[in-house]
């Protein structure tokens, strides 16, 4: 009998943690990852990043985007990560950003609800993927708009979830997720930011167990204090680098990270901290508003 269920969540807590799927951190060794299709990607005026790209007259080249996506995939394979892919839907040009249509928890994925018309239908392919692979879904966000770029498991027992209260991620949806997570004995820290920054992963990312990248110039001191109180050291990312999505990185585990090639300062800082760095060129994709972190959804990390 299939393991698939649309609601693995138990009311009041005590939900079953998954063994073959799931994660309890952003930095445990990454074993399985979900990527979106590059074939139907094109730039749209979706964010401050893509609006700037189009305003400055850059031209999208789909063949270069495909080559860069393949380079990123090669980095995952070299790191020993098994790649899974969403089925392409030509009506979903931003489906390549697999981070947003769901988020992974120890109890299975949460299916998101996206507000923009060009992303609203992404719940369909992602639910089909989990069904076809017998991955139990923890639950489905129904209370409001929610996108996975605002969700990070900073360490076991502690989730950071940002919101801008626009049609990206809304507080009512974050509160719904919080009402599920807290009965499991986990903390869910909420943080509101200006819609200009689109998602939390534009200015914050976990690198290793005790190291995070953050653009402290654009966040409130309260968030800096909260991160440090979790015994996490902060590597400073400049505003300029953050706006080029230089903070949009993927921790691979075992002191390995994948960083956009253009994020030279963060690359140097990570190397200085003894990390192994993969640095694919992702610039043709990132000019549309999302980079490495946006492009992937971890399906399974080793527990830490």
For 98-139, write each residue's pLDDT tens digit: 999 999 999 999 999 999 999 999 999 999 999 999 999 999
Three-class DSSP category at 92: coil
Q: Could you tell me if residue 216 is inside a domain?
A: yes
SS3 content of the chain, % helix, strand, coil (to 5): 30, 20, 50
Computed on alpha carbons and rounded to an integer, the radius of gyration of the chain in Å comes to: 18
H helix or E strand, kind and range, residue 189: strand 187-192
Q: Is it the case that residue 49 has pLDDT exceeding 80?
A: yes
Q: Could you tell me if residue 43 is inside a domain?
A: yes
> How much is the pLDDT for 113?
96
Percent of the chain clearing pLDDT 90 (strictly above): 90
> Average pLDDT for residues 48-73, to the nearest whole number?
95
What b/e readout covers 221-259, taking b as 16+ CB neighbours within 10 angstroms?
Answer: eebeebbeeeebebbebeeebbbbbbbbbbbbbebbbbb
Q: Could you tell me if residue 248 is inside a domain?
A: yes
CATH number at residue 131: 3.75.10.10
How far apart are the C-alpha atoms of 28 and 24, rounded to whole Å? Answer: 8
Q: Could you tell me if residue 147 is inside a domain?
A: yes
> Average pLDDT for residues 227-244, to the nearest whole number?
93
Residue positions counted in the chain: 304
On whether the CB atoms of residues 135 and 109 are closer than 8 A, the answer is yes
> How much is the pLDDT for 5?
86
Other CB atoms within a 10 A radius of the CB of residue 19 amount to 8
Range(s) of the domain holding residue 263: 30-301
pLDDT band of residue 2 (cuts 50, 70, 90) is low
H helix or E strand, kind and range, residue 76: helix 62-78
Average pLDDT, the chain: 95
> How much is the pLDDT for 118?
92
Percent of the chain clearing pLDDT 70 (strictly above): 99
pLDDT band of residue 1 (cuts 50, 70, 90) is very low
> How much is the pLDDT for 167?
83
Of 1-5, 93-97, 285-289, least confident by mean pLDDT is 1-5
> How much is the pLDDT for 147?
97
Q: Per-residue pLDDT tens for 15-42?
A: 999 999 999 999 999 999 999 999 999 9
Q: Is it the case that residue 273 has pLDDT exceeding 80?
A: yes
The candidate with the shortest Cα–Cα distance to 299, out of 28, 73, 14, 93, is 28
> Average pLDDT for residues 168-197, to the nearest whole number?
97
How far apart are the C-alpha atoms of 242 and 248, rounded to whole Å? Answer: 8
Q: Could you tell me if residue 10 is inside a domain?
A: no
pTM of the predicted protein model: 0.95
Q: Could you tell me if residue 210 is inside a domain?
A: yes
Number of structural domains found in the chain: 1
> How much is the pLDDT for 47?
87
pLDDT band of residue 4 (cuts 50, 70, 90) is confident
> Average pLDDT for residues 191-202, to the nearest whole number?
94
Q: Per-residue pLDDT tens for 111-120?
A: 999 999 999 9
On whether the CB atoms of residues 265 and 57 are closer than 8 A, the answer is no
Q: Could you tell me if residue 66 is inside a domain?
A: yes
Would you state the structure tokens that stand for residue 41, as one six-digit string? 């990607």
Q: Could you tell me if residue 111 is inside a domain?
A: yes
């Amino acid at each position: 009998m299939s393991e698939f269920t649309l609601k693995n969540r138990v009311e009041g807590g005590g939900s079953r943690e998954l063994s073959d799927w799931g994660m309890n951190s952003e930095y445990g060794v990454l074993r399985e990852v979900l990527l979106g299709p590059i074939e139907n990607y094109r730039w749209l005026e979706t964010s401050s990043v893509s609006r700037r790209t189009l305003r400055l007259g850059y031209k999208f080249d789909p063949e270069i985007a495909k080559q860069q996506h393949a380079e990123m995939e090669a980095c995952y394979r070299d790191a020993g990560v098994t790649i899974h892919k969403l089925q392409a839907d030509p009506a979903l040009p931003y489906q390549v950003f697999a981070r947003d249509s769901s988020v992974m928890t120890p109890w299975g994925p949460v299916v998101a609800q996206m507000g923009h018309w060009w992303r609203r239908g992404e719940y369909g392919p992602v639910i089909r993927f989990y069904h076809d692979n017998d991955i139990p879904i923890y639950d489905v966000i129904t209370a409001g708009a929610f996108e996975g770029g605002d969700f990070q498991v900073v360490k076991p027992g502690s989730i950071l979830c940002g919101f801008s209260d626009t049609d990206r991620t809304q507080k009512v949806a974050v509160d719904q997720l919080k009402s599920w997570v807290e009965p499991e004995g986990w903390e869910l820290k909420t943080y509101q930011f200006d819609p200009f920054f689109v998602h939390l992963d534009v200015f914050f990312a976990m690198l290793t167990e005790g190291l995070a990248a953050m653009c402290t110039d654009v966040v409130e001191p309260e968030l800096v204090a909260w991160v440090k109180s979790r015994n996490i050291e902060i590597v400073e990312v400049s505003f300029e680098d953050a706006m080029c999505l230089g903070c949009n990185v993927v921790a691979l585990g075992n002191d390995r990270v994948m960083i956009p090639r253009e994020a030279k300062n963060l690359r140097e800082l990570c190397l200085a901290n003894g990390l192994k760095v993969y640095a694919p060129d992702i610039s043709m994709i990132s000019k549309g508003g999302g980079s490495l972190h946006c492009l992937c959804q971890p399906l399974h990390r080793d527990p830490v």
